Structure 1
Amino acid sequence: MDRNSAIGLFLMAALLLIYLQFAPKPTPESADPAKTTAAAKASANTPGAAPAAPDSVALARQLGSFAAAAQGTAQTMELKNDLLTVSFSSKGGQVQAVRLHKFKTFFGQPLDIFDAQSAKIDTRFRTTDGRQVKLSDLYFRAEPQGTEALRFVADVAGGQIEQRYSLAPGSYEVGYQLRFNGLNQTLAQEALTFTFVDNVRQTEQDRKQNRNHTAINRYLVSGDHTVLFEASESPEEITVEEPLKWAAHKHNFFIAGIIADNAFSSGQLNSSVDLNDSTYLKTLSSTLKIPVTDVQQGKANFRFYFGPNSLDLLKTVAPEFDRNVNLGWGLFRWVNRFVVLPVFHFLEQFISSYGLIIVLLVVLIKLVTWPLTYKTYESQAKMKVLKPELDAIKAKYPDDQVKQQQETMKLNQSMGVNPLSGCVPTLLTLPILFAMFQFFPNAIELRQEPFLWARDLSTYDEFLKLPFELPFLGSHISMFTVLMTLSTLAMTYQSNQSNPSAMQGPMKFYSYLMPLIFFFVLNSFAAGLTWYYLVSNLVTMAQQAITRRFVDDDKVRAKLEANKVKNKDKKPSGFSARLADAMKAAQEREAQAKGAPRVARTDSDAADLDEEPGTGAADISPKKPRKTRRS
């Protein structure tokens, strides 16, 4: 590993660490009024506590002409297909629970993406006499419409409130219609408020990862897409004053969202975390405004999505709904969506083991990037061959860094060597590197897929459980991370042994230190990711061994000598010429600062800069006009 490759490696490592730790994690507030209120409501509904009997006088005072529907007996109804079961309560006529049939929690329990204890959906509206009424205040009459639809009706104020739900076979989408019939004189001309409060439960092994990948996404009619900061542990809030198309509560690998056929007129999204709460990971809350004319004119049509956070499914649900799958941003998302995922899905048609699919993915990527890798090895061979000349320059000018750089640049130019060619190919592979860091923890395809000793490739493999927690490491040891670290150290040793003089002193020490740092960073990352990099390291070492058979030092020396003859009379141009000017100017400034005589420019120097000999045009220091003495 030569100096340029090392610089590329360290730059890549620094960028990666910055990328992983970019977002600050502020300390959560000690008291959140919204959470306190939610807790108070939860305790008020604690099982075993006898509900207060409704007072007809109080109900009439509170609900007015809607009070007649505020008494009754709650019933539970269901819509069910092969993918999910959706439960409804006749009190409010709203979704009460959703269970996904084809998924379990990491702990083997049924996966309820929504349940009556942790989440609640409600809608409130204002009457012309100023009263606030919630649908949860009212009892609805349930009317099944076959096996795929359900209708709830409440007779109120001389009219009806109607809610319709539908669930088609093989679908994660629940159709929803809200109608206010014959209530134009009773309903105030003010938007209805739809609320969805969601206390998210842990469903994955890694509680922290589960929480940090939980957030609210929303999409505006104007085309803007925004997500609340996922990893935040302090309250987050977004207020939207323009129409929204959809809002979605993302639970790492699953989504509970609502999409409007028209639009919500505005909304507010909130998330908060209580790190002392062992029951819930995060509280998500969406408050969306429904135009009153929509419910009066039969246009309040919506769809709920309760299902997996899968790109192939989400891209057909609504515009940009697939943004809920966090595949990174910009170029990294493009690489994952149009390169990694298609290859992944192609391979899974023929191979059932996702661990083997990852191996083939590594091999394919290495084959595609082999030309870049070969360029790196070729650059290393050139620098190795030039090592004696470079050492001679350092020995000749031990205390003059500028002169060392000038002479090194002249040597590189004469030999046709670009010193950046060793690290640029490495940096060009960065998009794939960063894309993988987003792909493996967020790909539902890997969720609960076992391989070797790993139970789940989407989270860390807990090979060794520690009886205590260590800083930066946690309470476990990931064997894939251990093997990846050892393979990285072996690859570094192999590279250093092949060119012992290229990496010396502190640089050599840091080349071995970086893999150890990454061991602590990646110990809690997805096993699929560390398995990927373990295989990648092994393939890279094989590539190095094969490539060395084609890159012969004697042939490289002969090629460089041929370049030297070819470039003998060639003048620097473009960036090289500008760099030479800058170095000469720096040398002159340094000489002037030390009080040394000005460096004389030769005619050959002037020729290098396309100047006329003896004109002094290369002097970058501004000259004052000479004063003429009057006689």
Structure 2
Amino acid sequence: MDKNNIIGLTLMMVMLAVYFQFFSPEPPISEIIDNPVVDNSPSKLSEKANNEVALDLPLDPSDSNLNQLNQLNKLKYGFFISKIAGEESFISLTTEELEVTFTNKGGTFKNVEIKNYATYDSLPLHLFNENHAIDIYFEHLSKNISLKDLFFESELIKYSDSTELVYSLDLNGKRLRQIYTIYDQGFVINYRIENDGFDELIDIKNLNFYWEGKMPKIERELLDARQRATTRYYSISGNTDYISKTSTEYEEMTTDEPVKWLAFNQKFFTASVIAENGFSKGVITLAPSNDDQIVKQGALSSEIPFTDFVNNQARFKFFFGPNKYSTLNEVTEGFSQNIELGWVFLPFINKYLIIPIFNFLERFMSNYGLIIIIMVLIIRLILSPLTYKSHISMAKMRVLKPELDAIKEKHDGDMQKAQSDQMELYRKAGINPLSGCIPVLLQFPILVSLFYFIPSAIELRLESFLWADDLSSYDSILSLPFNIPFYGDHVSLFTLLMAGSTILYTMANSQMTTIQGPMKTMQYLMPIMFLFFFNSYPSGLSYYYFITNLVSFGQIALFRKFVNEDKIKLIMEENKKKNVNKKKSKFQTRLEEAMKANQTAQKNKGKKK
């Protein structure tokens, strides 16, 4: 590995260091009250205030407790008092991907189970359960009325490829209908609200949506799950944001621009509400949890445009499903951002190179260990022209090494003069000193793109290969009775193989490079750092890099067989003869001028002393 390769790998280390800085395991948090999001919700605070006002009103002391409760309910619900009494009933609908249970109390979801997926403990996977609640509320006669407190009439209509569930609320001819359409396939549930004079019962023309929930632990590692969980929104204009995944305190984020969707986003699964015409605005909250079965808790709240409600244009979608790119990309605009694919240009590489290759290979094989091997071969084949150029550059540097060493010895202690003579030697030999660096830098984005893709690929979740029982989590061949700082309490064999093969690759490559001193030491230090960084990372990622190293060994052997260094030396000797009187390039001229200026500055600095 020459100096140019070191530059590329050093850049990767900087990115890894930034990644771990912002995704470091969260420290223990103090005990927090249950459902802090609920307590801080404006709607709930208003409801509490209404109750307190009602309790302060004088009651007839001769009334029984039941009569007093009835009076309180009349004060609280007014015109809606007839709809707060009833018997809760449930309707369950099953499709190929979902099992959804609805309740007539509120006319909303009671439970949503994702079929064909399970938790790490092989339990049913629920994205909506008793820890979630959806409510639509409004103001009537200065009172907050919540649909979740009212009982609806239900009607079930079956179509050829879908089922429609209608929840109706009829108050003296003024009707509200909530209509759910669930299809035989897919993770999307359509939802619309129909108004028939019901808008006349709403004083302040606001219809508010509120969804609070606790995100369940469904993966192996709780800390990793917490580092990947958040609430996020996407605006009509295409802006997106989310609450910091590493936050250990209650946080709230508000946007006043129209919002397209809001989501509870975990590492591999998302629960979301999407507005066809957008919400008026949005608020998302996120808070930590001390419960080891809860990742985080949060809330999504927004305003439904009242004109949409009046004109029967209040249409929505609910999504409960996996963070699979092909699935999310079909839901609505920007929805694929629920998968972490990197930043700047990295998502582009993942979407249009890595994911298509991965999906193509999935069509022909189900063993993801083999898929990763073939992915390595394909990507290395694509990058082989760049790798070859880098190898040729290294070969040229080896040929020039005796002359470079002579220059260093001649100008011992005068670095500027030595560098100037080295540049002159490069010019005469026809070598661009950056020719080896550029191919490495061009390969670097693909390397980092895979660093994001593999940990986010739900296809690898719970998929076993060799001794690894889950390629989306770390592989452990030995559990330690203690925790090693920055390493963990287990030993990952794939990480050991990756680090070991990197050291061997460095040793093999060192015979082909001219690197000496601290840079050479860094080559061997970096694999040791990888050993600590990757020990708790997905085994699929360490396995990918291990296979990449093995393929690189093969490329080195192949290049050595076909690259004739004697021929390269002859070509360079011919170049020296032809370039004796050749003018210096603008780059070399500027570089030498910078060296001279630096040398003058150093001398002046020495005189002042």
Scaled by the length of structure 1, the TM-score of the pair is 0.87
Pair 1:242 & 2:257 matched: yes
Report deviation, 1:588.
Answer: 3.8
Residues in 2 aligned to 1:520 and 1:113: alpha-carbon distance in whole angstroms: 34
| Contact map agreement 2:487 2:532 (CA 8 A) in 1 | yes
Which structure 1 residue ranges, 5 or more long, are not aligned?
A: 42-51, 597-631
Pair 1:513 & 2:525 matched: yes
| Contact map agreement 1:355 1:451 (CA 8 A) in 2 | yes
User: Any idea what SS the aligned residue of 1:429 has?
Assistant: helix
Residues in 2 aligned to 1:40 and 1:11: alpha-carbon distance in whole angstroms: 43
Name the structure 1 match of 2:54: none
| Contact map agreement 2:340 2:456 (CA 8 A) in 1 | yes
Report deviation, 1:520.
Answer: 0.7
Name the structure 1 match of 2:136: 123
Residues in 1 aligned to 2:576 and 2:16: alpha-carbon distance in whole angstroms: 39
Quick one: which amino acid aligns to residue 83 of structure 2? A
Aligned CA distance change for structure 1 residues 173 and 36 (closer, same or farther; 3 Å): closer
User: Any idea what SS the aligned residue of 2:102 has?
Assistant: strand
Name the structure 1 match of 2:71: 57
Report deviation, 1:14.
Answer: 2.8
Name the structure 2 match of 1:620: none
Residues in 2 aligned to 1:378 and 1:291: alpha-carbon distance in whole angstroms: 64
Name the structure 1 match of 2:549: 537
Name the structure 1 match of 2:382: 368
Report deviation, 1:32.
Answer: 5.8
**How many corresponding residue pairs?**
582
Report deviation, 1:29.
Answer: 7.0
Name the structure 2 match of 1:14: 14
| Residues 70-102 of structure 1: CA deviation (Å, up to 9, x unaligned) | 111111112221211111111111111101111
Report deviation, 1:25.
Answer: 7.5
Aligned CA distance change for structure 1 residues 70 and 513 (closer, same or farther; 3 Å): same
Name the structure 2 match of 1:469: 483
Name the structure 1 match of 2:427: 413
| Contact map agreement 2:26 2:246 (CA 8 A) in 1 | no
**One of 590, 594, 605 as aligned partner of 1:578:** 590
Name the structure 2 match of 1:183: 198
User: Any idea what SS the aligned residue of 1:77 has?
Assistant: strand
Which shifted more, 7-16 or 80-89? 7-16
5 Å-filtered alignment, 1:121-270, equals 121-127=134-140, 129-146=141-158, 148-156=163-171, 159-270=174-285
**One of 329, 336, 353 as aligned partner of 2:343:** 329
Residues in 2 aligned to 1:22 and 1:91: alpha-carbon distance in whole angstroms: 42
Report deviation, 1:37.
Answer: 6.6
Name the structure 2 match of 1:503: 515
Residues in 2 aligned to 1:11 and 1:250: alpha-carbon distance in whole angstroms: 30
5 Å-filtered alignment, 1:347-366, equals 347-366=361-380
Aligned CA distance change for structure 1 residues 265 and 570 (closer, same or farther; 3 Å): same
Report deviation, 1:206.
Answer: 1.9
5 Å-filtered alignment, 1:444-459, equals 444-459=458-473
**One of 394, 400, 417 as aligned partner of 2:414:** 400
Which shifted more, 565-574 or 535-544? 565-574
| Contact map agreement 1:195 1:286 (CA 8 A) in 2 | yes
| Residues 144-181 of structure 1: CA deviation (Å, up to 9, x unaligned) | 22371211122336522221111111121112122343
Residues in 2 aligned to 1:66 and 1:428: alpha-carbon distance in whole angstroms: 66
Aligned CA distance change for structure 1 residues 456 and 39 (closer, same or farther; 3 Å): farther
User: Any idea what SS the aligned residue of 1:351 has?
Assistant: coil
Aligned CA distance change for structure 1 residues 508 and 592 (closer, same or farther; 3 Å): closer
User: Any idea what SS the aligned residue of 1:480 has?
Assistant: helix
5 Å-filtered alignment, 1:548-587, equals 548-587=560-599
| Contact map agreement 2:156 2:164 (CA 8 A) in 1 | yes
Residues in 1 aligned to 2:547 and 2:482: alpha-carbon distance in whole angstroms: 30
User: Any idea what SS the aligned residue of 1:453 has?
Assistant: coil
Residues in 1 aligned to 2:116 and 2:24: alpha-carbon distance in whole angstroms: 36
| Contact map agreement 2:105 2:150 (CA 8 A) in 1 | yes
**One of 97, 107, 110 as aligned partner of 2:124:** 110
| Contact map agreement 1:66 1:157 (CA 8 A) in 2 | no
Which shifted more, 543-552 or 25-34? 25-34
Report deviation, 1:223.
Answer: 2.0
Residues in 2 aligned to 1:263 and 1:192: alpha-carbon distance in whole angstroms: 13
Residues in 2 aligned to 1:95 and 1:56: alpha-carbon distance in whole angstroms: 28
Quick one: which amino acid aligns to residue 263 of structure 1? G
Aligned CA distance change for structure 1 residues 332 and 459 (closer, same or farther; 3 Å): same
5 Å-filtered alignment, 1:24-39, equals 30=30, 35-36=35-36, 38=38
Quick one: which amino acid aligns to residue 55 of structure 1? L
Q: Percent identity?
A: 38
Aligned CA distance change for structure 1 residues 6 and 328 (closer, same or farther; 3 Å): closer
User: Any idea what SS the aligned residue of 1:145 has?
Assistant: strand
| Contact map agreement 2:37 2:299 (CA 8 A) in 1 | no
Residues in 1 aligned to 2:28 and 2:316: alpha-carbon distance in whole angstroms: 35
User: Any idea what SS the aligned residue of 1:55 has?
Assistant: helix
| Contact map agreement 1:65 1:157 (CA 8 A) in 2 | no
Report deviation, 1:535.
Answer: 0.3
Residues in 1 aligned to 2:166 and 2:516: alpha-carbon distance in whole angstroms: 77
| Residues 94-119 of structure 1: CA deviation (Å, up to 9, x unaligned) | 11110111111111001111112x11
Aligned CA distance change for structure 1 residues 538 and 24 (closer, same or farther; 3 Å): closer
| Residues 293-329 of structure 1: CA deviation (Å, up to 9, x unaligned) | 3222211111111111111112221111122122112
User: Any idea what SS the aligned residue of 1:420 has?
Assistant: coil
User: Any idea what SS the aligned residue of 1:163 has?
Assistant: strand
Name the structure 2 match of 1:602: none
Report deviation, 1:286.
Answer: 0.3
Report deviation, 1:55.
Answer: 2.0
Report deviation, 1:212.
Answer: 1.8
Quick one: which amino acid aligns to residue 156 of structure 2? P
Which shifted more, 582-591 or 236-245? 582-591
Report deviation, 1:518.
Answer: 0.6
User: Any idea what SS the aligned residue of 1:190 has?
Assistant: coil
Pair 1:320 & 2:334 matched: yes
Residues in 2 aligned to 1:593 and 1:305: alpha-carbon distance in whole angstroms: 67
| Contact map agreement 1:157 1:186 (CA 8 A) in 2 | no
Residues in 1 aligned to 2:155 and 2:393: alpha-carbon distance in whole angstroms: 76
Report deviation, 1:584.
Answer: 2.7
**One of 76, 82, 106 as aligned partner of 1:68:** 82
| Residues 238-277 of structure 1: CA deviation (Å, up to 9, x unaligned) | 2011211111211221111111121211110111113x32
Name the structure 2 match of 1:342: 356
Which structure 2 residue ranges, 5 or more long, are not aligned?
A: 42-64
| Contact map agreement 1:214 1:251 (CA 8 A) in 2 | yes
* Alignment root-mean-square deviation, CA: 2.4
Residues in 2 aligned to 1:526 and 1:26: alpha-carbon distance in whole angstroms: 19
Aligned CA distance change for structure 1 residues 520 and 185 (closer, same or farther; 3 Å): same
User: Any idea what SS the aligned residue of 2:158 has?
Assistant: coil
Aligned CA distance change for structure 1 residues 388 and 96 (closer, same or farther; 3 Å): same
5 Å-filtered alignment, 1:405-444, equals 405-444=419-458
Quick one: which amino acid aligns to residue 525 of structure 1? Y
Residues in 2 aligned to 1:465 and 1:24: alpha-carbon distance in whole angstroms: 21
5 Å-filtered alignment, 1:470-485, equals 470-485=484-499
Report deviation, 1:567.
Answer: 0.8
Residues in 2 aligned to 1:527 and 1:27: alpha-carbon distance in whole angstroms: 25
| Residues 442-470 of structure 1: CA deviation (Å, up to 9, x unaligned) | 11111121111111111111222222222
Report deviation, 1:491.
Answer: 0.6
Residues in 1 aligned to 2:605 and 2:270: alpha-carbon distance in whole angstroms: 66
| Contact map agreement 2:177 2:193 (CA 8 A) in 1 | yes
Residues in 2 aligned to 1:37 and 1:235: alpha-carbon distance in whole angstroms: 8
Name the structure 2 match of 1:616: none
User: Any idea what SS the aligned residue of 1:248 has?
Assistant: strand
Residues in 1 aligned to 2:36 and 2:11: alpha-carbon distance in whole angstroms: 46
Quick one: which amino acid aligns to residue 407 of structure 2? I
Name the structure 2 match of 1:49: none
Report deviation, 1:495.
Answer: 1.4
Aligned CA distance change for structure 1 residues 282 and 379 (closer, same or farther; 3 Å): same
